[in-house]
Amino acid sequence: MADLGNPKHTIAVLQKYQFHFQKKYGQNFLIDPHVLEKIIRAAHIGKEDFVLEIGPGIGAMTQYLCEAAREVAAVEIDGNLIPVLKDTLSAYDNVEVIHADVLKLDLKEMVQKKNGNRPFKVVANLPYYITTPIVMGLLESRLPAQSITIMVQKEVAERMQAQAGGKEYGALSLAVQYYAEAEIVANVPPNCFMPRPKVGSAVIRLMRHETPVVQTEDEKLMFRLIRASFNQRRKTLANGLANSGVFPLTKERIQECIKELGVSETVRGETLSLEQFARLSDLFKRELP
């Protein structure tokens, strides 16, 4: 029975192993069973599922995952946690703990070995210092990660889910939403963690689109355009792009492309939808040498 995710048991395990939190690894362990249950429910884990957990900590969420899933692989960077996990997960024979840096591990090979090319799910209370590289790495890798249910900093979750026009909307919103449907499923206050983080947290679920929601001739160009468009948020899109120096186009040519989209040439980047960025990217492509 999963029982780790409460303050009493967490403290007992930490004392038994004389564990010291390492700030550099973003270690904030969940100590609220209701939050753990909510995450598992939101991830829709079933007995047929293979689940990748990133950063199991002392294994509080891993225990829930082992109960709900067919098989779990948990990747943990901190060597001091490996003997702890061996102990806390000893009742389960459907989990493998991998001692590695998730950003350096060949996830493709690991997932292929464990689950073939079949879809799998990712569930994690992420180390916040590497949220973006982990999430974008998973989305861009084209691994069949059907859903990614993760605890992240609240502000980052809001940016991932943001729609055009809002102040949270930016390159991260567009990058995530190109690959997946993003939905915040819970807000989680600092007192649900040990130690308490300085920021609020949220659980967000990313459901991968089966086919991209927009078509563009050159995906890389579109993402370059998106990044350049949000670098100078106070400027109009045309000024921002002309100043960025990323594209060898005059301000006038840029304005003409923007006008061809059917929007005002004084528009700001944050009002354009993903669809409009895809079209603008195709217009740029036509103009570029």
Q: Which of 2, 13, 19, 27 binds ligand SAM (CB under 6 A)?
A: 27
The closest residue (CB) to ligand SAM is 55
Which positions from 103 to 122 touch ligand SAM by CB under 6 A, shown as an x/- string? x-------------------
Does 32 engage in binding with ligand SAM (CB under 6 A)? no
Residue 2 to residues 5, 38, 63, 91, 228, Cα–Cα distance (Å): 8, 14, 5, 10, 47
Q: Which of 55, 170, 240, 269 binds ligand SAM (CB under 6 A)?
A: 55
| Residue 244 contacts residue 256 (beta carbons within 8 Å) | no
Shortest distance (Å) from residue 185 CB to ligand SAM: 16
| Binding piece for ligand SAM, criterion CB under 6 A, among 74-82, 163-171, 175-183, 229-237 | 74-82
Shortest distance (Å) from residue 75 CB to ligand SAM: 5
Shortest distance (Å) from residue 78 CB to ligand SAM: 4
Q: Which of 2, 19, 28, 139 binds ligand SAM (CB under 6 A)?
A: 28
* Nearest-angstrom CA–CA distance, 179 and 138: 10
Single out the residue of 46, 36, 38, 275 nearest to residue 146, CA to CA: 46
Distance of CA 125 to the CA centre of its chain: 10
Shortest distance (Å) from residue 147 CB to ligand SAM: 17
Which positions from 166 to 195 touch ligand SAM by CB under 6 A, shown as an x/- string? ------------------------------
| Residue 141 contacts residue 175 (beta carbons within 8 Å) | no
Q: Which of 13, 19, 26, 120 binds ligand SAM (CB under 6 A)?
A: 26
> 81-86: long-range contacts (C-beta < 8 A, 24 or more apart)?
81/19, 81/56, 81/57, 83/17, 84/13, 84/17, 84/19, 84/58, 84/59, 85/56, 85/58, 85/59
Residue (29 or 120) nearer to ligand SAM, CB? 29
Does 56 engage in binding with ligand SAM (CB under 6 A)? yes
CA atoms within 13 A on the CB side of 178: 22
Q: Which of 75, 172, 226, 274 binds ligand SAM (CB under 6 A)?
A: 75
First to last CA, the chain: 63
* Nearest-angstrom CA–CA distance, 29 and 151: 11
Helix, coil or strand: residue 195: coil
Shortest distance (Å) from residue 218 CB to ligand SAM: 31
Residue 158: other Cβ atoms inside 10 A: 21
Q: Which of 2, 42, 51, 57 binds ligand SAM (CB under 6 A)?
A: 57
* Nearest-angstrom CA–CA distance, 34 and 62: 15
Binding site for ligand SAM (CB under 6 A): 25-30, 54-57, 60-61, 75-78, 81, 101-103, 125, 127, 130
